[in-house]
Amino acid sequence: CALGGPLGPQDGWLDGWVTLGDAVGLFCSSVTATRSTAWLMSAPSMQERKACWGARDDFWSCLEAQGEDAARCQELRLAFEARCPQQWVKYFDKRRDFLKYKKKLEAEGFHPPETAGKA
């Protein structure tokens, strides 16, 4: 399909965004197979957000109980990934790593390397 012209699905240029696992495909109106494709790029509802947060909390609790052994929490990890948008999963993973690092710094104190600040 050619770029240009109308810019929205309401104008017939796009039928919508479709999430296919890790890939997101853009389908043009010239592709008849996607004519019935709904516009799927929307914010999660309150119910979906709560389900995501609950799955995240269950997974994190399992990791804490199992001594960070992710293999023992694989089923909960899959539920977490299934209930949350991919970008949220990435964000929550980074957030958890940061919170663990912050907790470690608070417990042990910060000790900069001796070479820090010397130039």
Handedness of CA 48, 51, 55, 60 (dihedral sign): positive
| DSSP reduced 3-state for 74 | helix
Higher pLDDT, 31 or 101: 101
Q: Per-residue pLDDT tens for 41-86?
A: 678 899 999 999 999 999 999 999 999 888 999 999 999 999 999 9
**For position 59, what pLDDT does the model report?**
97
> Whose CA is closest to 80, among 68, 69, 93, 66?
93
Q: State pTM to two decimals.
A: 0.57
> Whole-angstrom Cα distance, residue 103 to residue 12?
52
Report which residue type is found at 100.
Answer: K
